[in-house]
Amino acid sequence: MGAHIETGIDIVRQHLIDPEICIRCNTCEETCPIDAITHDGVNYVVNAQVCNGCIACVPPCPTGAIDNWRNVLRSEAYSIDDQFGWDALPAQHEEINAPVEVPAHNDEAPVASDTVGGSTVAPWSAARPYVQLYTHKAPALATVVGNFRLTDAAAPSDIRHIVLDFGALPFPVLEGQSIGILPPGTSADGRAHHARQYSIASPRDGERPGYNNLSLTVKRVQHEDGNGVCSNYLCDLKKGDVVTVIGPFGNTFLMPNHPDSHLLMICTGTGSAPMRAMTEYRRRRRATGETGKLMLFFGARTRGELPYFGPLMSLPKDFIDTNLAFSRTPGEAKRYVQDVMRERADDVAQLLGDGNTHVYVCGLRGMEDGVMQTLEFIARSHSLDWPALWERLRREGRLHLETY
Site string for ligand NAP, 53-92 (x = CB under 6 A): ----------------------------------------
Tell me the residue nearest to ligand NAP as measured from the CB. 269
Which of residues 43 and 199 has its CB atom nearest to ligand NAP in the complex?
A: 199
- Binding span for ligand NAP by CB under 6 A among 30-38, 147-155, 267-275, 384-392: 267-275
Phi/psi-derived region of residue 61, left when phi > 0, alpha when psi is between -120 and 50, beta in every other case = beta
Which of residues 11 and 179 has its CB atom nearest to ligand NAP in the complex?
A: 179
CB atoms within 10 A of CB 279: 25
Q: Which of 373, 383, 313, 314 lies closest to 346, judged by CA? A: 383
Site string for ligand NAP, 208-237 (x = CB under 6 A): ---------x-x------------------
Q: Which of 90, 95, 85, 33 lies closest to 58, judged by CA? A: 33
Chosen residue from 46, 54, 273, 294 binding ligand NAP by CB under 6 A: 273
Hey, CA dihedral for 117, 402, 174, 17, is it positive or negative?
negative
Told to check if 156 binds ligand NAP by CB under 6 A, we report no
CA distances from 341 to 295, 324, 334, 346, 352 (A): 10, 10, 14, 9, 12
Q: Residue 161 CB, nearest distance to ligand NAP (Å)? A: 11
DSSP state of 78: P
Which of residues 47 and 270 has its CB atom nearest to ligand NAP in the complex?
A: 270
Told to check if 301 binds ligand NAP by CB under 6 A, we report yes
- Binding span for ligand NAP by CB under 6 A among 82-90, 235-243, 293-301, 381-389: 293-301
Chosen residue from 71, 268, 356, 374 binding ligand NAP by CB under 6 A: 268
Chosen residue from 19, 53, 363, 397 binding ligand NAP by CB under 6 A: 363
Q: Residue 237 CB, nearest distance to ligand NAP (Å)? A: 15
Find the helix packing angle between 367-381 and 345-352, rounded to 10°: 80
Give yes or no for a contact between 111 and 103, defined as CB atoms under 8 angstroms apart: no
Q: Residue 364 CB, nearest distance to ligand NAP (Å)? A: 5
Told to check if 176 binds ligand NAP by CB under 6 A, we report no
Chosen residue from 328, 353, 355, 387 binding ligand NAP by CB under 6 A: 328
- Please give the Cα distance from 275 to 176 (Å, whole number): 8
Longest CA–CA separation in the chain, Å: 72
Contacts of 31 (CB under 8 A, 6+ apart): 56, 57, 60, 112, 115, 116
Length of the chain measured in residues: 404
- Residues 383-402 touching ligand NAP, rule: CB under 6 A, are 402
Chosen residue from 46, 265, 352, 367 binding ligand NAP by CB under 6 A: 367
CB atoms within 10 A of CB 219: 19
- Binding span for ligand NAP by CB under 6 A among 64-72, 222-230, 364-372, 386-394: 364-372
DSSP states of 188-223:
TTSPBPPPEEEEB-S-TTTTTTTSSEEEEEEE----
Residues that bind ligand NAP (CB under 6 A): 198-199, 217, 219, 268-271, 273, 299-301, 327-328, 336-337, 362-364, 366-367, 370, 402, 404
